[in-house]
Amino acid sequence: MSDEASKTTGAGAQRDALATSDSYTFFQDRYGMDEKSLSTGLNAALERKVDYADLFFEYNTQDSVSLEEGIVKSGSRHLDQGAGVRVVTGEKQGYAHSDEISVESLSLSASTAGAICEGKGADRGVSVSPVGRERDLYPVAQAPTDVAVEEKVALLSDIDAYARRLDPRVKQVMASVISQHRRILVVNSQGGLACDTQPLVRLNVQVIVEDATGQRREVGYEGMGGRTGLESIMEPSNWKGLADEAVRVATLNLEATACPAGTMDVVLGPGWPGILLHEAIGHGLEGDFNRKKTSAFSELLGQRVAAEGVTVVDDGTIAGRRGSINVDDEGTPSQRNVLIENGILRGYLQDRLNAKLMGVAPTGNGRRESYACLPMPRMTNTFMLAGQEDPQDILRSVKRGIYAVSFGGGQVDITSGKFVFSASEAYLIEDGQLGRPLKGATLIGNGPDVLKRVSRIGNDLKLDKGVGTCGKDGQSVPVGVGMPSIRIDQVTVGGTES
């Protein structure tokens, strides 16, 4: 927001100003949350006998602009700010929050949260002090929400005109740009203090094309984003590539025919198909599901859960990626976590609560949608590592099957691991060659079973373009996915071919 902008000028000065305002001093200067105030809030949370307490502060600005039918039809800008107090006793959590950030509201929230966890007496004094941040995975010279709305409107207008010039069959263009600048501060009863400033941008381009008869219409979509400044998506070479791809997919779908059904070999393309890995595998490796033994991967540490060569990691430390974080929403630094190594289950994703109850260390995966939510184990950037094989050789190895390039919607049952995913771009494979494009291809299976059916792994690992959003228990957080090309043997494919 404009009142956050530095009064100094020049890119270097702006960068220095943002680096300073990213720190603990932002909440101190704006709300008076100095060491004394934070200690007072924590001690109020510890008036009852509890195992642990923390305070979470958030100041989040976001704006969006959307274009449709050649005009900007909607725009919004809003601010979310508030603080939450959590107390923990055993498995129990008490949480209270307020959109007012003050010593008085903290004390009231602390009293409410403590009452939820019961307990008596046992005052404990805690003091906190600011600490320096060890790294910055997403430095920006200007907060994306500070870019003038006129520039965003101009970008969308350029996208609309460009996409329509690509193909006369383009009848409709929908585009949107979303910018976010989120500041957080976390302090806990162990004296820890951490803060972060998280930029986030996303550009979406969707087109509708119509065939010559006017009887058939198809949709194509492409997006990109990440924890960067807005300049990354305003670069013409980037947004033109999105429009090119959206039009290509839409016109391809005009030629697509019904998908055959049955059990067949499936090849997944690199990049976004990692969403299947995220949903069907990743959620089952989150600590809360495994502590409660409701995951298909519960009590399988050290055992083979995937084919040889399959290594799955969750890495929140990749610079500029949508799912990356300097620290999680409990103040724990993010890290690279190897979940499955060469087919063997090595670990789960943990927040502080579940890590303590399972007797392990937190992994930097305690995330929450906002100050109004409790943290829980969540993924960051989850992907399968590359193998050694040429992707073309993988395709040539399939006699008859499906090549799935991109996915739309899907569902998964964490307890059983069963999933259903719909491919938004897919092709028939016949005698090792790509055939006709397909509509209505659906992959049906079981996550742990599918991992064991991976027979070939390509050398072309790609991460998605920065559009992933993960939902869990009503909370949404930005994530990344990825994978190399892989072959999965004998998968159930649902189709619409009669």
Sorting pLDDT into bands at 50, 70 and 90, what band is 49? confident
Helix (H, G, I), strand (E, B), or coil: what is residue 365?
coil
Say which residue, 14 or 55, is predicted with more confidence. Answer: 55
Q: Which CATH superfamily is domain 2-254 in?
A: PmbA/TldD superfamily (3.30.2290.10)
Sorting pLDDT into bands at 50, 70 and 90, what band is 118? low
Say which residue, 24 or 65, is predicted with more confidence. Answer: 65
State mean pLDDT over 263-279.
95
| DSSP summary character for residue 363 | -
State mean pLDDT over 418-439.
94
Q: What is the pLDDT of residue 78?
A: 95
Please state, as a whole number, how many other Cβ atoms lie within 10 Å of the Cβ of residue 135. 11
The answer to whether residue 406 scores a pLDDT higher than 50 is yes
> What average pLDDT does the structure give for the chain?
91
Helix (H, G, I), strand (E, B), or coil: what is residue 303?
coil
Q: What is the pLDDT of residue 410?
A: 77
The answer to whether residue 324 scores a pLDDT higher than 70 is yes
Q: How far, CA to CA in Å, does 454 sit from each of 123, 191, 265, 324, 337? A: 55, 46, 10, 27, 21
Of the ranges 84-88, 127-131, 316-320, which one carries the lowest mean pLDDT score? 127-131
Q: What is the pLDDT of residue 250?
A: 96
The answer to whether residue 16 scores a pLDDT higher than 60 is no
Backbone angle region of 343, left / alpha / beta, with phi > 0 → left and psi within -120 to 50 → alpha: left
Beta bridge partners of 353: none
Name the nearest CA neighbour of 386 among 449, 318, 321, 463: 463
pLDDT digits (tens, 9 = 90+) for 210-251: 999 989 999 999 999 999 999 999 999 999 999 999 999 999
Query: What are the sequence ranges of the domains in the chain?
Result: 2-254, 262-494
pLDDT digits (tens, 9 = 90+) for 248-267: 999 999 999 999 999 999 99
Tell how far CA 395 is from the center of its chain: 30
Q: What is the pLDDT of residue 411?
A: 80
- Cβ(265)–Cβ(488) under 8 Å? yes
Sorting pLDDT into bands at 50, 70 and 90, what band is 161? very high
pLDDT > 70 in the chain, percent: 92
Q: What is the pLDDT of residue 2?
A: 33
The answer to whether residue 378 scores a pLDDT higher than 80 is yes
The answer to whether residue 204 scores a pLDDT higher than 90 is yes
Q: Longest Cα pair distance anywhere in the chain, in angstroms? A: 78
Residues in the chain: 498
Backbone angle region of 73, left / alpha / beta, with phi > 0 → left and psi within -120 to 50 → alpha: alpha
Sorting pLDDT into bands at 50, 70 and 90, what band is 409? confident
Q: What is the pLDDT of residue 129?
A: 65
- Cβ(336)–Cβ(493) under 8 Å? no
The answer to whether residue 335 scores a pLDDT higher than 70 is yes
pLDDT > 90 in the chain, percent: 81
Question: DSSP labels for 382-438?
Answer: EEEPP-SB-HHHHHHT-SEEEEEEEEEEEEE-TTT-EEEEEEEEEEEEETTEEEEEE
The answer to whether residue 13 scores a pLDDT higher than 50 is no
pLDDT digits (tens, 9 = 90+) for 55-98: 999 999 999 999 999 999 999 999 999 999 999 999 999 999 99
The answer to whether residue 417 scores a pLDDT higher than 70 is yes
Sorting pLDDT into bands at 50, 70 and 90, what band is 157? very high
Q: What is the pLDDT of residue 24?
A: 82
Q: What is the pLDDT of residue 122?
A: 47
